A and B are shown apart, each in its own frame.
Chain A
C-alpha cells in the first residue's frame, strides 16, 4: 500500500510523538518517572547534574535517571532543587526532617555529614551495599559515612581535594616544599605577574584550602572528644607556622594583598585564564575547567601537583565532596535512595570526571585514565576530611577572620590566634 506523502508524514508523526512525549514526560523540572506512579520518593538534589545549566550534563543525567526509573517500575522521584546557599539549604533539610516534612533522600555536603549523624536523622543504608563496595571506600570516606553503631548512613559519592596549579612557562618544576613555593612565587612576582593566588576571604573555601598546610605538620583542630585544641601545645606552633606561610607570601609581594578579598575559585580561574598569575591553590575539579575555559595551547601550559608541605615528605590536603543519604524510615525508599547514590557514584562520576570515593572505580571507567587522575589519586593518599564535630563551622569562621586580619595587617598572627581561640571556646561552651 502506498500512502500519499502527507498521510505518510502523519502516520510517522502519530507513531513517533507518543514515544517522544513519553520520554520527555519522564523527566520534568520536578519529577523523574510517570506522574501517576504508585510510589513516590522525594529527592533533594543540587543544580549541578540533572538540572545543570550545561545541556550536555543535564542530558547525560537525564538518560541515567530514565534508565534508573525504567528499572524501578511503579516508582516516581519527586525532585526538589537546592540553591547555592549550601549552609542554609542543609539547615533547611534538618529543620524539615525534624518536623516530618523533610525529603526521603537528599544530597548532603560532606562537611555537614557529622551534624546530620549527630542529629540522628539518617537511615541506615548498610543492607543495600555489598561488603565489597563498603570495603572499597577510601578509609576517610568510610569513617565519614559510618555512624556510632557501625552502620553506613550515607554514600559519599564523590570527593575533591586541594592542589597547586602552576603555569609551566613561569614555574617549570612543581614546588615540593613551602620554601620552593615561596621562591617560585617571588620569582614570578619579580616579572610583574602575581606570584601565587589563594582564597583568604570570608568563605569556607579559604579555611579549608589553608588547613592543608596546618594538617601537613600533623596539626589537630580538635581532640578525640571534639574539644578544640588547635591553639594550644604543639598545635599552636603548627598553626602559627601555617599562618605565617601565607603572611610571608603577602608581605614579600609573592602573593598580592588582594587575596583577602578572594573567596571564590572562579576568581582564581579568571586570573589563570587572563595569564596574570603564575600559580594558584585550587580544587581538583578546576583541571577540567582549565581545559574548557582556555585555548588548547594555553591550557597545555598549566600543570597540577600536590600541595607543597613544610618538607617534601610532610603533605596534606583537605578532601570534601558530597554524599547522598536517606531520611526516611521506609525501607523501600531507603533502597531507592541507595540506588540513586550508586548511580551518581558510578556513571554520574565518570561523566563529570569527579573523584570517585572507591578505588575500584578509577580502574572501572576509562574516563579516569588521564594523567591528572594519577596525581589526584596520589594526593588523595594525604587527604584529610574536616573533623566531624559540631564546633567545626565556628573554627572555620574564626580561621577566615584570622586570615583576613593577619594578611591585611590588622593583627599579628599571635594576637589573631588568641582572639580566634577565645571566640571558638566561647562557642564551644554554648554547645
Chain B
C-alpha cells in the first residue's frame, strides 16, 4: 500500500510537470522558419476566410456594384454605359426628391414609433398576464405573430380590401353601422399616408413584441418585488425599472425596424401604388419605379445609395443611444 501510494504520488508529480513541457512544445515559436505565411495559417484567418468570402460575394459585391452603377448613366436597354455624374445630379436636382424624402420621413417615423409602442404594450401585457398565470397568452402571441408571417404584398392587399371606400368596404361599412361618416382612407392624399402607416404597424408590431418580450423576461423579478415593498406606483415601476432595463433592447429594436421600414415598399405598392398623386410614394418605392418602370439603372442605383446613406446615418445616431457597455 505504501509503495502504491508512493507511486501514485510520483505519477501526480509527473502529471503536474508534464503539461508544462507539452505546452511549451505545442506553442509555436514566435518567429518560426515559415515566416509570414505560417503565422497567418496558424491564426484564425483560415477559419474565417469562408465566411469573409461569402460576405464579400453576397453583400459587399452588390453594394460595390450599386455604387459603381450610381456613377454611370446606365439604362437597362443600353449596351454601353459611361462613367458620369448625370444620375446623381439628376437625382439631387429633381424637384420630386423633396416630396419623396418628406413622405419617407413621415412614413418611417410614424411606423417605427407605432411599432415600438404597440409592440412594447403587447409584450408588457403578455408578461403581466403570465405573471398572473392567466390563460391565453400563448394564443395572444400567436395571433400577433400571424400578422408578421404574412408577406408584405399580401398585407397591402388585405388592408386595401379593409380600407375600400366602395359602399361595401369593410371598415367604412362598420363605421356606417355605428353612425359614423365613412372615411376616404385611400383616395384622400392626407389620409392615404395614415392608412399606409396603419398597415405597416399592424404587420411589424409582432417583431417588436418578440424582441421586447424576450428583454422583459430578463429583468430580475426581485426588482419589482422591492419596488412593491417601497409602494412604488405602476408608472414608477415602468419608468424607473422597466424602461432603463429595456434601453438596449429598445435601441436595437429601433435600429432593426428603422432599416426594415426604410426598405419597405411592397406594402405601399399593393395598397396605394404611391398615390393618390405622389402622396404615399416613399424613397424605396421611387427607386423601384425608377429601375423597373423607367429602366434607369444608374439613377435607381443613386437613389439606393441615398437610402443606404440615410439608413447608416440614422443607425449611427441610434447606436450612440446604446448603453456604453453594449456599443462594442
Chain A interface residues toward B at CB < 8 A? 85, 87-88, 91, 94-95, 98, 115, 118-119, 194, 201-203, 256-261, 263, 267, 270-271, 274, 276, 390, 393-394, 397, 400-402, 404-405, 407-408, 410-411, 419, 422-423, 426-427, 430-431
Contact = CB atoms under 8 A, between A and B. Distances in A.
Interface stretch (B3-11, B130-138, B251-259, B294-302): B294-302
B294 A397 contact: yes
Contacts of B192: 261
B89 to A, nearest CB: 10
A404 B294 contact: no
A289 to B, nearest CB: 17
A251 B293 CA distance: 31
Given A258-B184, A397-B293, A408-B276, A426 B90 contact: yes
Interface in B87-106: 90, 94-96
Given A118-B77, A274-B166, A405-B276, A91 B292 contact: yes
8 contacts: A87-B293, A260-B275, A261-B272, A274-B168, A276-B168, A397-B289, A404-B189, A410-B279
Given A410-B189, A422-B95, A91 B76 contact: yes
B86 A261 contact: no
A393 B294 CA distance: 6
B79 interface: yes
Interface string B46-84: 000000000000000000000000000101110100000
Contacts of A411: 277
Contact of B275 (A201, A270, A426, A427): A201
A410 B277 contact: yes
Given A201-B273, A261-B272, A410-B189, A256 B165 contact: yes
A151 to B, nearest CB: 19
B77 A201 contact: no
A349 to B, nearest CB: 29
What DSSP secondary structure best describes chain A's contact surface? Answer: helix
B296 A404 contact: no
Contacts of A271: 166
Contact of B295 (A393, A401, A410): A393
A390 B77 contact: yes
Given A88-B292, A258-B165, A276-B166, A405 B277 contact: yes
A404 B166 contact: no
A340 B133 CA distance: 66
Contacts of A408: 187-189, 276-277, 279
Contacts of A430: 73, 86, 90, 296, 299
A263 B77 CA distance: 28
B166 A401 contact: no
Given A87-B293, A258-B187, A267 B273 contact: no
Interface in B178-204: 184-189, 192
B274 A202 contact: yes
Nearest to B164: A267
A260 B276 contact: yes
B167 interface: yes
B166 A270 contact: yes
B278 to A, nearest CB: 6
Nearest to B73: A430
A119 B184 contact: no
B295 A91 contact: yes
- With most chain B CB atoms within 10 A of its CB, the pick from A202, A261, A271 is A261
B298 to A, nearest CB: 9
Contacts of A407: 276
B77 A261 contact: no
Contacts of A257: 184, 187-188
Contacts of A203: 273
A238 B168 CA distance: 36
A98 B277 contact: no
Given A261-B276, A397-B289, A400-B273, 5 more contacts: A87-B292, A98-B79, A119-B77, A274-B167, A430-B299
Contacts of B167: 194, 274, 276
Given A393-B295, A422-B95, A95 B279 contact: no
B293 A94 contact: no
Nearest to B94: A426
- With most chain A CB atoms within 10 A of its CB, the pick from B186, B273, B274, B275 is B275
B181 to A, nearest CB: 13
Contacts of B279: 404, 408, 410
Interface string B278-293: 1100000000010111
B295 to A, nearest CB: 6
Contact of B76 (A94, A263, A400, A404): A94
A261 B165 contact: yes
